[in-house]
Chain A
Amino acid sequence: MTTNTRTIQKPKPNFETKSWMFMRYSAILLIPLVFGHLILQDVIVGVHRIDLDYVAMRWASIGWRIYDALLLAFAFAHGVNGIRQVLNDFIHSDRGRKIMHWGLFLLWLIITAIGAIALIGGVRPIS
């Protein structure tokens, strides 16, 4: 008896495959980042002790700025891609999806740019 073996070529990963992978890998990174941010800012410090001086003190350290930059980059990209995946369940036409994808991309770009400018510019004194 002979056994025939055949090799199946793995399909090349397309955009949706990469986006699927990104959601899982960014999730692993976001667990310490987001849980840490929430436990520190909402539970330990609390919103009643957060003000302009607090942000200025926090951002005086380059380490916290890098931490917040990672949050901005990964959490928001993860969030917008998640919205895209949910909306793909509701919008089925090619045209509708194209409009939705570009709309979300622009939203991501603009909001990320605003956040990045603030993060780099830092706290400005009250005029």
Chain B
Amino acid sequence: MSNLKTTLTGYASYRGKEGHYSFILHRITGLGTALFLIIHILDTSFVYFFPDLYQHAISLYRSTLFGIAEVGLVFCVFFHGVNGLRVAFFDLIAPRLWSVPKQRFSTKITLLITLLMWVPASAIMLYNMLYHNFGWFGG
């Protein structure tokens, strides 16, 4: 238990600003995506193991609660992907560019690219949810 406290206190009290926030966000979005991935592999495998239950699983995903969670999941995947690409670029191609100013700048660009992808994607997903679940836009 002391390990848990030590590590979490370190996560919270370290003052690395952008690089630190991006590290924390990378971990949270990664864990969230991995957790969903376990559920998603199992629910998709229903098409073979329990085909009559597959439709039931899908109707859960169509609910409003899961619709909102889906918007969050897409943010997690987009941020984790763009930030992961940033890390991979610095580590594999240009390790000499690992410097504090470059990191501060690149984390901001990462967030900007993530938002540019996420905002239109969420708009379409929310439109679909309002159309099917609430009868908006003539649905």
Contacts and interface: CB of A to CB of B under 8 A. Distances in A.
A90 to B, nearest CB: 5
B55 A51 contact: yes
A92 B125 contact: no
A42 B55 contact: no
Interface in A65-110: 72, 75-76, 79-80, 82-83, 86, 89-92, 107
Interface in A6-24: 24
A121 interface: yes
A96 B41 CA distance: 27
Interface in B87-103: 87-88, 91-92
B87 A24 contact: yes
Given A51-B58, A72-B41, A118-B45, A31 B51 contact: no
Given A27-B85, A34-B77, A80-B34, A124 B48 contact: yes
Interface in B52-71: 52, 54-55, 58, 61-62, 66-67, 70
A55 B121 CA distance: 22
B115 interface: no
Contacts of A55: 44, 47, 54
Contact of B3 (A35, A92, A127): A92
Contacts of B47: 52, 55-56, 118, 122-124
B62 A47 contact: yes
Contacts of A118: 44-49
Residue among B30, B33, B47, B85 with the highest chain A CB neighbour number at 10 A: B47
A80 B41 CA distance: 13
6 contacts: A24-B87, A46-B124, A47-B70, A48-B128, A86-B27, A90-B3
Given A27-B81, A91-B3, A118-B45, 14 more contacts: A24-B88, A28-B88, A35-B78, A38-B78, A42-B121, A43-B124, A79-B34, A82-B31, A83-B31, A117-B45, A118-B47, A124-B47, A124-B51, A126-B51
Interface of A: 24-25, 27-28, 30-31, 34-35, 38-39, 42-43, 46-48, 50-52, 55-56, 72, 75-76, 79-80, 82-83, 86, 89-92, 107, 111-112, 114-115, 117-118, 121-127
